[in-house]
Amino acid sequence: MKTGKSSAGDTKARILDATEKLFTEVGYEATSLRQVTSRAIVNLAAVNYHFRSKDIMMHAVLSRRLDPLNARRLALLDACEARWPGHAIRCEHVMGALFVPALQMARDPAVGGPSFLRLLGRVYSDTSPFIQQYLLEHYAPVYGRFFDAFARAIPALPRHELGWRLQFALKALAGVLAGEELASLLPAFTQGRQMSDAHVLAQLTAMVEAVLNVAQPGADQLSALQSVFELGEEQQHAGQHSEQRASSPANDPDASVAATAATMDEAASHAAAALGKARTSARIVRNAGTKRAAVTSVPVRGREHTVSFPSNPLDDWMRMRTRT
């Protein structure tokens, strides 16, 4: 029968194991307390009792795996530097000190197990602020030691150039380790042959070394890439012009219908204005004839000289518009 103490220890271990698996699968941001409780088969009160928050829980998950790993790495690097002092150390020695402890822990279920490499890859490739801050606080001294060792192994490479190349190479390697396709990549990598850990690590080290020692791009490489950029800009401009032509009224059926309707409305307005002018002119002529008839019937001595002003068609049209 289990005691209360052992039961509490089992609960805490189940929570850590569940959190580690979820983090490896989906990353820090997507790992939720609800998922952890479901995976660990515990209630939220148990999680709060042991860890109080997600960050504290995740810190415990990382520390129980990475603290022993870093201790092993530094101890092995010390041994390598003692065996190959100064510039006698090679890039392979430094890479071995970095990855041999990880491979050893991946072989030992008590301290990591087969999923340990994927956990390690997830830690290196996760972009969440919490993980980045954890690495900054816990890995800075370790990274500094290994950076100095790489600098001695490749003395011809400037330190600033070595820095970004190391970041690129190790991040790329971490992304491969974190991927779900790792199980299928390794058989393809070994091509069905039985390969020792040293052989596998030698293959990986060769690729990292190629990145660290690759020559700076020459004039021909820069010119070739610049030509591709220029070609891409030409295609982009051509695509923009095509989109503009496609969206113009001449190519838009709705716009064409709207333009036709506007033209018809304008023509109707002109026709109405012309008809109004014609009606106004006819009315003026009739009024003028009536006035002449009235003047004719008045005795001669009663006539008065009247002054007539020509009609303004614009005024007549405006009056007609007011009435209608």
CATH number of the domain where residue 22 is located: 1.10.10.60
Angle subtended by helix axes 197-213 and 91-107, to nearest 10 = 140
Per-residue pLDDT band at 281 (split at 50, 70, 90)? low
Task: Report the CATH number at residue 166.
Answer: 1.10.357.10
Looking at residue 289, what is its pLDDT? 52
Looking at residue 259, what is its pLDDT? 53
Whether the pTM exceeds 0.85: the reply is no
Looking at residue 85, what is its pLDDT? 95
Tell me whether residue 119 is exposed, middle or buried, using C-beta atoms within 10 angstroms of its C-beta: 0 to 12, 13 to 18, 19 or more: buried
Q: Both 29 and 156 in a single domain?
A: no
Number of domains in the chain: 3
Domain that holds residue 11: 7-52
The stretches of 108-252 forming alpha helices (DSSP H) are 116-125, 129-153, 159-178, 182-190, 197-213, 219-246
Q: Which domain-ending residue is among 165, 191, 218?
A: 218
Distance CA 196, CA 298 (A): 135
Looking at residue 208, what is its pLDDT? 85
Q: Both 212 and 324 in a single domain?
A: no
Q: What is the pLDDT of residues 64-109, one digit of tens each?
A: 999 999 999 999 999 999 999 999 999 999 999 998 998 888 888 8
Q: Mean pLDDT across the chain, nearest whole number?
A: 78
Long-range contacts (CB closer than 8 Å, 24 or more residues apart) made by 39-44: 40/11, 40/14, 40/15, 41/14, 42/11, 42/14, 42/15
Alpha carbon distances (Å) from 125 to 8, 76, 170, 204, 271:
33, 24, 10, 17, 75
Looking at residue 38, what is its pLDDT? 94
Which is more confidently placed, 148 or 301?
A: 148
Looking at residue 182, what is its pLDDT? 54
Q: Which domain-ending residue is among 202, 218, 234?
A: 218
Q: Both 197 and 324 in a single domain?
A: no
Q: Both 139 and 197 in a single domain?
A: yes
Lowest mean pLDDT among 55-59, 134-138, 238-242, 261-265: 261-265
Averaged pLDDT for residues 273-295 = 53
Lowest mean pLDDT among 170-179, 188-197, 251-260: 251-260
